[in-house]
Chain A
Amino acid sequence: MRRTVGIVLRLIVGGIFLYAAYDKVIHPGQFAEILMDYEALPLGAVNLVALWLPMLEVIVGLALIVGLWVRANALLGSGLMAVFIVGIAQALGRGVGLHCGCFSTSPGGEARTWISLWEEGLLVGGCVALWVLRWPTIRSLSIAQHRRAP
């Protein structure tokens, strides 16, 4: 059961990372503009981060889907989402109107609100759950339970 939950979670979370990366990889310029609107990065780093972040999402997403280094990638994914949440929150806290960049680079989308942070929060939850499921103690417990079952 735990194994099935782990596989389903991996496919969902990995798929969301790939979906989130798609538009940013296609439109790096628009993503760079969005990153600049967060007003959290030095101007000289904006383009480099705009090229790097989507690829990080691609690799984490693919690795979770195929099951490669799941614990490490789940931890990295949750850290990545936590950074996004902090970035959005600091902009919202300063009253800056953001139109995200998390799943789309289109400037016509809805403005971000505090409530809309649940999307990233859910992904953090999924990554943390995957990470915890891969703890050695949890795995050995799961295997032991499995063996004990008739």
Chain B
Amino acid sequence: MRDSRSGAFSRFCARTRVLEDSWRIVIVVFSALLLGLAVNAFHPQSLPLTLAEAKRPGIPLRIWKRLRFTDAQKAFEMAARGENALLVDVRDRKDYEQSHGRGAVSLPYHGFDRTYPEFASRVPLEKRILLYCYGTKCGMSARVATRLVERGYANVVIVRNGFAGWTAAGLPVAGERHSE
């Protein structure tokens, strides 16, 4: 059985020359890495090779230091106690409409510039903003948080683990999916 398998593999390798090509693939893969690093060294939007303290791409360190984090349970309690806090969903609008944390308003990252003026007209700058996105790493939340801080919102908090964490904690949700 093993012989027939190794025979089939040998025939496959002989037919496709895949083993001969493997060193070429390795050369291309490493050349791409070297070229990427070389281009980055002279690129006007050069990226740091590691994410340093901010741990998120695209978030300036000065902003990152002003952001705070909380978990879903504490965010729910803050919003429920009415501590001048507003729960904000930064996921796509269609996902918000289907299901969102109860009491959350929508400010989607994709389409931020379209929706922000209405948000700004309703939400005062001193309000505590509790942002959540889809999942665990909060990249979208951090980017929306950056934009809000740059526009004058001083009290911006990111909800760790996003909507996935919210539902996992069994916190109340609303939306089309829960309307019946």
Contact = CB atoms under 8 A, between A and B. Distances in A.
B120 interface: no
A36 B56 CA distance: 8
Nearest to A71: B21
B45 A97 contact: no
Interface residues of B toward A: which range?
Answer: 35 or more
Contact of B57 (A36, A75, A131): A36
Interface stretch (B68-76, B137-145, B148-156): B137-145
B16 A135 contact: yes
A43 B55 contact: yes
Given A28-B43, A69-B28, A97-B91, A39 B135 contact: yes
Nearest to A44: B50
The secondary-structure label for the interface of chain A is helix
Interface residues of A toward B: which range?
Answer: 35 or more
Nearest to B31: A59
A60 B28 contact: yes
A76 B50 contact: no
B110 A99 contact: yes
A105 to B, nearest CB: 11
Contact of A55 (B21, B36, B48, B137): B36
B168 interface: no
Contacts of A97: 91-92, 94-95, 110, 134
Given A58-B35, A94-B135, A99-B110, 5 more contacts: A35-B57, A39-B139, A47-B50, A72-B22, A95-B95
Interface of A: 25, 27-30, 32-33, 35-37, 39, 43-44, 46-48, 50-56, 58-60, 63, 69, 71-73, 75-76, 94-97, 99, 107-109, 111, 131, 135-137
